[in-house]
Amino acid sequence: MSLNVPHHELLEILRHGKDRVVYRSRYNGQATVTRVILRPVPVELAGLIEGVVTSGVGSLAGMDEEIIATLEGYRVRSRLSGPGLPGVCAAGLAADPTRCARAFGLPFITTRWMPGETLRAAALPMTQRPGILRGVLKVLAGIHKADVAYGDLKPQNIVLGPDGVGLIDLDTLRQVPAAHLPIRVTHRTPRYAAPEQDGDHPLLYLASDIYTLGLLVCELLGDSRPGEVGFPPRLEAPWDAVADACLRRRPLDRPPASVLLSHLERPDGPLPTWSGALFAPVTEPVRSSSLLSQPTIRVEDPVDQTARVAEPPQVGAEQTQRVAEPPQVGAELKDIVTAAAAPPEAGLQEPAPEERRRIPSSILLVVGLLSIAALGTVLAGGLWVHAQLQLRQQADAESARLLESLKIHKTVPAENTLAVLSGIREEADAALAISETPELLGLLALSTVWTQKWHWSSASWDDARYAEGAAVIARADAAGPTVTGLLASGVLTGGACRLMPDADATLRRTRCEESLASIDKAWQRIRWDDSLDWLAVEVQWAGVMTGGALAGHFEARGDAEEARAVRKAAMARCQSGHTRLSAAPVNGEELLQSCLSIAGPAGRFSEYMKWAAWLVGNDLETTGSVSSSTRELIFEGVHPECHGMRFYRSGIPQIPTIRGGQIDLCRYVGMMALGCPDIAEGLRDCKRESWGIREQRCMIYNQAEGIPWRSALSETAELQLSDCML
């Protein structure tokens, strides 16, 4: 994307989603961050946007909802003072050369760069974590004093800089009417959301930030998260009381940030609870018959009670001597021991001393020692099995949490960043200290190859990086096959298939085949699991990219039959992936872009139209117009000869210098895909001289060998196309 932000130098893309792109930038010689909202607005609104963001004045009525939601956060920021939040430097409209720059622009907001690492990316010793939590509390106390809620507290938005703790990404700042009154919101991060933010009508209180703070306390100081075994953890004072108070279910029962800060400075006294009705401190807990007013996490019991389960039944003295006979003692010896211990019954004559059978004390000692050893072995074995089960449960819980984190990374545009992915990889690596299960190793392998960018179209070959990824995958394979481990292998070898130097053509083909084999195994494990539809799209996307590269390899060798077979298999992946696109809002578009490059050369124009229509509809839904990049993709994907076509700024293809061949087919199918059948038929019938087609050459074009006009026409004639999108 080429943008012109006045007086800015755009240095690097930090994050790119459907609704916005975030740049590391330079403005007036200062390091800054520039957010550009991908929603065009008339250039006349540039002054209004600048006033709203920098001064907090002006009305946003009538603007796009996404623009309003973002600008409102910075309007609120303009009214706040104090450290911990980046200052706003500039705002206005950026020029987009692909649109009519004189009439429309894209809103941008520039804030100061806060140096340092995010809490998600930082590796922190335990001794530093309490200080960081105090720093977050200080920032919250400052903005809460102005009745402003932050709204999206999470590690990715907390920066640890040389000047202390800061909060970035201020889109979600909101003014609330009062400390005890909420507002309705739409944005939240489910993993760190308070209970009142769940459901169809989420509410935001100042206390919603306090609940999230409690989750961070448990995560940083207790390495425990909701849904895991042992949550919430037992923390040392005074953080145990802070966590309990923050995690109360009712928002108004959570103390304000200022009270929590005071308690941390003077932790000797009890931390007061709060009455939701009056929002005033009380010295005793508020008791109610309603469960909603009680802490929802835990109530600590005295230590001496937690170990007690039930009192043993009272038994006679003679019963208390018998526990169990050791298995090593035979039946005969058992009878001897019983007879020796039993008292003589009344009326029976005691045998003479020479007839009495005695057991040497050495045998009794050996029997006793064997009994103790056997009992110890059983107890030790039971404890070991119990410990292993607990470790496995913890590892399984961590695997489920990390898989959910990957899902969020792949389905929430704001979370689809390398920083988030790197954090997940580090967490997977750390979790292996619990137990090296196949699931954890598979998650580590997948997050590693994704972090290495092997699935990026802009990736390049790197021997050392490939060897590093292969070592992690080999470790996962040795533990046992998993969906994530198999996908990791498919992505890595697929990267080699696409990117290895031409001199290694044979090895490249081998890597292609290895990639598709791993991807097929992953697909067999995942195909019937609806809960993993988001991952199914990733699996099929990896297969389509590898299939396209392998088909190109066969074509380069002149093996057209093999190329057709590979493309046919890739088309099947596209079909199954297309049915799951609703579960993949981040990479679904990339899947279909790859599918277009398969369907065009394969002559599968019906599928080509269907997938092109999805891309067009997605553009219309998000921006209200079809982007030039989508138009170019639709024209270029028809056939390899169409690559490199020149386009006007509107996205319409220019007249080629040399006409004929597949170029006309590209333009015909492209116009049909954009919902312009009249223009398409005019091109085919040579009736639009404005496109540079002359009547006397029409028959040459239509009868040129290798141009599937008839196939393209029959595939597209019955499609229900919308109005022309040009």
Residue 66: predicted pLDDT = 81
Residue 84: predicted pLDDT = 92
Sign of CA dihedral 179, 180, 183, 187: positive
Residue 517: predicted pLDDT = 92
Could you name the CATH architecture of 8-112?
2-Layer Sandwich (3.30)
- Say if residues 70 and 106 touch (Cβ distance below 8 Å): no
Whether a cis peptide bond, with omega within 30° of 0, leads into 232 is yes
Residue 596: predicted pLDDT = 87
Residue 273: predicted pLDDT = 56
Residue 682: predicted pLDDT = 67
How many angstroms from the chain centroid is the CA of residue 716?
38
User: 117-299 belongs to which homologous superfamily?
Assistant: Transferase(Phosphotransferase) domain 1 (1.10.510.10)
- Say if residues 174 and 183 touch (Cβ distance below 8 Å): yes
- Say if residues 253 and 273 touch (Cβ distance below 8 Å): yes
Residue 723: predicted pLDDT = 52
Q: Tell me which residue has tokens 């923050």.
A: 246
User: Which residues of the chain fall short of a pLDDT of 50?
Assistant: 275-356, 657-658, 688-707, 709, 715-722
Q: Is domain 395-599 in CATH 1.25.40, yes or no?
A: yes
Give the span between the Cα atoms of 182 and 113, in whole angstroms.
Answer: 31
- Say if residues 647 and 656 touch (Cβ distance below 8 Å): no
Question: Which stretches of 557-587 are DSSP H helices?
Answer: 560-578
Q: Where are the domains of the chain?
A: 8-112, 117-299, 395-599, 606-726
DSSP strand pairing (30-37 vs 20-27): antiparallel
Residue 675: predicted pLDDT = 74
pLDDT (tens digit per residue) in 689-699: 444 434 433 43
Query: Does the reported pTM lie above 0.75?
Result: no
DSSP β-bridge partners for residue 35 = 22, 109
Question: Which stretches of 187-286 are DSSP H helices?
Answer: 206-222, 239-246, 257-265
Tokens for 386?
């119990």
Domains 8-112 and 117-299 share a fold: no
pLDDT (tens digit per residue) in 459-476: 888 889 999 999 999 999
